[in-house]
Structure formats: structure tokens, C-alpha cells
Structure 1
Amino acid sequence: MFSYRHAFHAGNHADVLKHTVLIHTLDYFNRKPTPYWVIDTHAGAGIYDLADKWAEKNAEFETGISRLFGRTDLPEDLATYVQYIKELNLGEDLQFYPGSPWIALEYMRDKDKLRLFELHPSEVEILTDNIQQQDAQIRRQVSIFEKNGFEYLKSQLPPPTRRAITLIDPSYEDKHDYRHVIKAMKEGLERFQTGCYLIWYPLVQRKEVYDMVQHLQKLPNIEWINASLTIKKPSKDGYGMHGSGMFVINPPYTLYPALEQILPYLKEHLAEDAHALYTLEHVEK
């Protein structure tokens, strides 16, 4: 149950897509003065050392963020994302990669709140230590829960400010996670219909992936964007991830045109073979 460590995959192609979408959404929410919450159902450790044994095990960052780190022709949103990674590394070589909690803390204002759920005992210990090392203002903004984010999401909704970004990105190592996402979204929308929900999913050869996306598309009274990036041909043995996607419920109106620029670029520069492709769909109310 607790075998998954996000450090194995830190900075890979999936993180590039997920975190570019997250930064765009945070930036959009910052346009209004009203405070908001960020709720992360599977927070991980917060930040990762790419020289660590966990990250070096597969070195997936080499075919993700590393391919973009030195480029000067990036579309605007990718340029913003890469610039943040560079600033995190103090303009030096790529060593540290942020998880979604670290990105949220960078973009949130002092009046905004961050709610982090992490059930992995080692990850939550590191996450807690990382947050405790920050200044008092940041510590006041953050609440960490060693609980199942699927089950406790509804307890956070609706936030007092009626503005929130919820990120749902489990490992999906447990195939029941696909059903858990659907259940959590149904419960979340019942409590907070107007919330913005970012749902990451892997592209793997499992029927559950496509069933989950279809269920999400049929949820009532929502707008949505579904963006996916395939970087290589699926393996013959059926194992491994050949891409990933982001399903965004109640997205910023600026996100779709941004993805129209982001996805073709990522397809070209993160491709591992000639089977790379992307899809981009959306439905408005």
C-alpha cells in the first residue's frame, strides 16, 4: 500500500503538464483579491532533491523538466513554469524539483490557505519537516493531515471564502483509485459546485482510465477541459505509463487557449518516439 514515492517520478513529463496547469490556475485565482484555499489530496513530500537515490532510481526528470530547462523558445506558460524552477534552484543547475505544495506556497498570497493530505507515513513526515522549516507566516497558512484525501476532501468544502482550487493526483497504483476519484468528485461538487478541481491521471493500458474520464465528462452542470499528452507508444507488455492527462472542472477561461500553445510544444520536445500525440477537449455550460 505504501510502496509509492513521488520522488521516483519527480520532474517527469507528467509533472511538467500537471504543474504548468497548476501554476496557470493559481495565477488566475490571484487576479481577484478575495482569498482562496488550495486543497491537495495527495501532497507528497513537498520538494525533492533530484540527486537523491529515489529520484535517481529512474531519473525521469531527464525526459521531463531537463528537456525544457535550457530552452529559450518556450510558450508563455511553460516559460513561467521553467522560470520558477530556475529560481527555486537559484539560477544554478537543476537539483531541486517542487511538488504541488511548494508551487502553491510560491503563488499564494498571505491571506490564502493550503490544506495538505498525505497518507504515506514517510512522505508526511518529510512534508511536515519541510513546512516546519519555513517562516511563521507560511506555517500559519498550512494545515497538514495524515489522512486519506479522498475521504476527507468533502470535510474541507465549501471553504469560507467560496473560492478553492482542489488538486487530486493519486498514484493510481491501486486500481480502486479511479473509482475513488469519481466518488470524491461527486461528493465535492454536491458541497461546492463552483469549485475548481484539477484531476491528474496516468495514461496506462487500463480500462479504468477511460471509464473514469467518461464518468467525469458526464458529471452534471460543470464546465471541463480534458488535456492529455502521450509521449511514446504503449509497451507491448501493458506495463508502464506512456503519457498523462489533466481533467479540469470549472477551469479558468484562460486555460484552454494556453493549452493550445502548451500541448503541441510538449508533444514535440518531450516525445520519446514517433507515437507522441496530444488531445484537447472542452465543454462549456
Structure 2
Amino acid sequence: MNYRHAFHAGNHADVFKHVALLAICDALVAKPAPCFALDTHAGRGLYRLGSTAAQRTGEAEDGIARLLAERPRESAIKRYLAAVEACRAAHGADAYPGSPWLLAHALREQDRIACCELQPVEAEALRANFTGDERMAVHARDGYAAVRALLPPRHGALRYARGLVLVDPPYEAQLEEFSAALAALKEALARWPTGTYSLWYPIKLRRALHPFLRKAARLPAKSALVAELLVRADDSPLRMNGSGLLLLNAPWKLDAALAPALRALQGALGEAGASTRLEWLRPPE
């Protein structure tokens, strides 16, 4: 695996999935019971947008930089921008939070987080970035395999009924990655049916996703929600035109929280032909 998220940190896909991630976390912590989060493809958890890697692609300029300039007033986006600013206050003006940082920021002292990263260099950086946070366990291992080892989640005698499994693979295997992700989600749901699951996916040509979404709708979840943000027209298979989230067992009213956020993100980040989608593949029971 050659993928390095540092080249893409803070781009439009990161902005979208991190807005949604914080909305899910806020819904989870609204109840007093402790919760658990598993990040299967965690990366290093904290990035530098001034790094050579980030500067080489410049993707953050059309993502977080544009959003900070536009500053939409929608509440979920304000929440996300506040988290980015908290990260920069702690780590410097060019810092950008990955999903492990956002999980640590949004969850509470009584909650637990497990982060998996297969690449040794990235796993070591992840471990260094969260030294001293007793809630965080870093596993240098394949995230799909960790589903079997870490679910259902336990901490001592405590068993968690609520929480999130975040699946954010690099899609180096392209369409083959969908099969691996769906198999992992099917097993995870069998092991922990009460968890919330979020699978991120890239969009080049939307019609290519139809087989994946048909299979996703048949997963044994209580509900299945799709949220998508395309920042340009869906007319090129050569670049990522947008991205989506498959959300299984989504928290109550998450769709209502995401709808205005998607519209605001389209307005702030979109070019000609930009669009959004928010649709239940399977409505809540």
C-alpha cells in the first residue's frame, strides 16, 4: 500500500466526512452512557498543510481553506470549523485534524477509541500524536481484520451498546475495495448490531456505484442512509468529483442535521455542476 493521506488532507472529501463525523459524535455523547469508536484506517491523525506533501497537491486550498474563507453559518459546519481552530490552537497554524484527532476532541473521558493503521510509519506517527491519551488505543494492524478482534467492544467488565465504526479506506484497489468494505461491515453488524457504521467512498462516475449501493441496501442494519457531495459535475472518471458516506444505524435525526450542511458545503466548495444527495436506502424501522 502506497497511499499517504498527507497529500489529500483538508480536501473537499475530508471536509465533508469530518463535518458528518462530528455530527455523529455529538449525537452519541448526547446520552450519558459511555460509547466506543473504532477507526479502521486511521492514518496519522494529525497533518501539516504546510508540509511538502500537502503543498504538492494543494488540495486543501479547495477544501478547508475555502471553507474557512466562506464561513457558512450552518451549525454543523460551525461546529467543524471550531474543531479545526481548536486543533490549530493546540498544534500550530498549519495543523489539520484527521479523524482520530476529531474523535478524541469530540468524545468524553469515559469513552474509548481504537485506531488501526497498517503502514508502520503512519502507525508510529499516530501513536506519537496521542501519547498520554488513555482513551486511545493504537493498533498497527489491518483495520478490516480488527473488526473481528475488537467487536463487540469491551473495556474490562464494561460492554458498549453504543458507538461508531468509521471505515475510511484508501481505495487503492478501486472497485475491489467495495467488496472488502461490505464484507467487513456485514461481519461487524453480526458482531455488534447496535453500533453506528460510516463508510466513506470516492465518486468519479456515480453510475459506477450502483452495484455497491444495491449490495449495501441488503446489509443487516436497521437503517441505511447515503449522503453525497459532488463538487463538480459527474462527468470524469479520471478525478475524484466528490465523495459519499454510507451510514448504517445512523443516530436519530442525523439526516436532518446533514441536510443543511450538505447544501452549505455545495455552495462553499462547489463548482459548476455540483450537487448533493441525501437518501435512505433503508429508512429507520
Contact 2:189 2:221 in 1 (8 A): no
Quickly say closer, same or farther: Cα 1:93–1:73, change in 2 above 3 A.
farther
Match of 2:41 in 1: 42
Show CA shifts across 1:103-133 (max 9, x none): 001111111111011011221121112122x
Partners of 1:250 and 1:8 in 2: CA distance: 31
CA RMSD of aligned residues (A): 1.8
Match of 1:270 in 2: 269
Contact 1:37 1:163 in 2 (8 A): yes
Give 5+ residue unaligned stretches, structure 1.
Answer: none
Partners of 2:263 and 2:10 in 1: CA distance: 19
Identity %: 34
Match of 2:152 in 1: 158
Match of 2:140 in 1: 146
Match of 1:210 in 2: 210
SS in 2 for 1:115: strand
Partners of 1:259 and 1:164 in 2: CA distance: 19
Give 5+ residue unaligned stretches, structure 2.
Answer: 154-158
Match of 1:7 in 2: 6
TM-score (norm 1): 0.92
Match of 2:193 in 1: 193
Residue 213 of structure 1: CA displacement? 2.1
Match of 1:105 in 2: 104
TM-score (norm 2): 0.92
Match of 2:254 in 1: 255
SS in 2 for 1:166: strand
Equivalent pairs, count: 277
Quickly say closer, same or farther: Cα 1:180–1:271, change in 2 above 3 A.
same
Partners of 1:194 and 1:265 in 2: CA distance: 31
Matched residue type, 1:265 = A
Matched, 1:68 2:67: yes
Partners of 2:56 and 2:71 in 1: CA distance: 29
Quickly say closer, same or farther: Cα 1:104–1:120, change in 2 above 3 A.
same
Residue 207 of structure 1: CA displacement? 6.7
Match of 2:232 in 1: 232
SS in 2 for 1:70: helix
Contact 1:202 1:245 in 2 (8 A): yes
Partners of 1:206 and 1:149 in 2: CA distance: 26
Contact 2:229 2:242 in 1 (8 A): yes
Quickly say closer, same or farther: Cα 1:94–1:277, change in 2 above 3 A.
farther
SS in 1 for 2:233: coil
Contact 2:39 2:115 in 1 (8 A): yes
SS in 1 for 2:227: strand
Partners of 1:185 and 1:147 in 2: CA distance: 17
Contact 2:221 2:249 in 1 (8 A): no
Contact 1:67 1:269 in 2 (8 A): yes
The 5 A counterparts of 1:14-25 are 14-25=13-24
